[in-house]
Amino acid sequence: MGAHLGEFEQLVLLALIHLGDEGYGISVRDEIHRRTGRDPAFATVYTTLTRLADKGLITSRMGEPTAERGGRRKKYYAILPAGRRAIQASLHALRGMSHGLDTSWGMP
């Protein structure tokens, strides 16, 4: 398991865990926006999701087309066990690195 996760990949994986099996582009983007205040472009969310799928960390399935989407299908994403392991490793590494530091860095 040599897959290192980029920072945005971590956010996407964590968002998928929060969303259960109902994650798709909009909900992932909104989850990240709600929790971090960032405003990523949809294309950014999707390139990351696709990369994570290429790495075998998440899986996807196509939903039904609807009129409000201009007759296009949704793509649902769900995290795979490998993805859970990868995010665990990442978070573990972060905790290890920040352990014992006062992370307010003396700022008010």
Partner 1 sequence: MNADSAPPALASWLLTRILPEDFREACLGDLEERFRNEIVPARGAAAARRWYWGEVLRAPIALLQSPRPSPRFAGDSSVSLLAADLHFATRTLRRRPAFTTLVVLILGLGIGATTAIFSAVYPILFASLPYPDASRITMIWESTKDGGRDNVGFTTWRELTDLSRSFEATAAVGGFSGTMTGRSEPEQLVGQKVTESFFRVLGVSPAIGRGFSHEEDRPGAARVVILSDALWRRRFGGDSSIVGRDITIDGNPFAVVGIMPASFVNVLNPAAQLYTPLRYDVSLPYACRGCHHLRAVARLRAGVTTTAAARELEGIYATMRRDHPTDYAGVTLLPVRLQDDITRAVRPALLAVLAAAALVLLIACANVTNLLLGRAAQRRGEFALRAALGASRGRVMRQLLTESLLLSGLGGALGVALAVFGVRGLVALSPAMMPRVDAIALNSSALGFALAISLAVGVIFGLVPAWHATRRNLHQGTGAGSRRTAGGASFTRGALVISEVALALLLLVGSGLLLRSMREVLNVDPGFDAEQLLTVQIQSGGQRMPDDATTWRFFEQVLTRVRALPGVTSAALTSQLPLSNDFDGYGIHSEKHPNPNPSEDPSAFRYGVSAGYLETMRIPLLRGRTLTPQDVAGQPEVVVINQSFAKRVFPGEDAIGQRVRVGDPAKGPWRTIVGIVGDVKQVSLAAERSDALYQPEVQSPYGADGAMTLVVRGGGDVNALLPAIRQAVAEVDRDQPVIRVATMAALLHASEAQRRFALVLFEGFALVALILAAAGIYGVLSGMVTERIREIGVRSALGASRRDILSLIVGAGMRLTGIGLTVGLVASVLLSRTIASMLFGITATDLPTYLGVALVLFAVAIAACWLPARRAARIDPVTTLRAD
Residues touching partner 1, count (CB under 8 A): 25
Answer for which of 38, 72, 85, 92 binds partner 1 (CB under 8 A) is 72
Residues 23-52 interacting with partner 1 (rule: CB under 8 A)? 24-26, 40-44, 46-51
Q: To the nearest whole angstrom, how small is the minimum distance from the Cβ of residue 72 to partner 1?
A: 3
102 binds partner 1 (CB under 8 A): no
Task: Answer yes or no: are the C-beta atoms of 36 and 11 closer than 8 Å.
Answer: yes
Q: Which is nearer to partner 1, 70 or 106 (CB)?
A: 70
CA pair distance 29, 90, nearest whole angstrom: 21
**Among the listed residues 55, 60, 53, 72, the one whose alpha carbon sits nearest the alpha carbon of residue 23:** 60
Binds partner 1 by CB under 8 A, chosen from 38, 69, 85, 92: 69
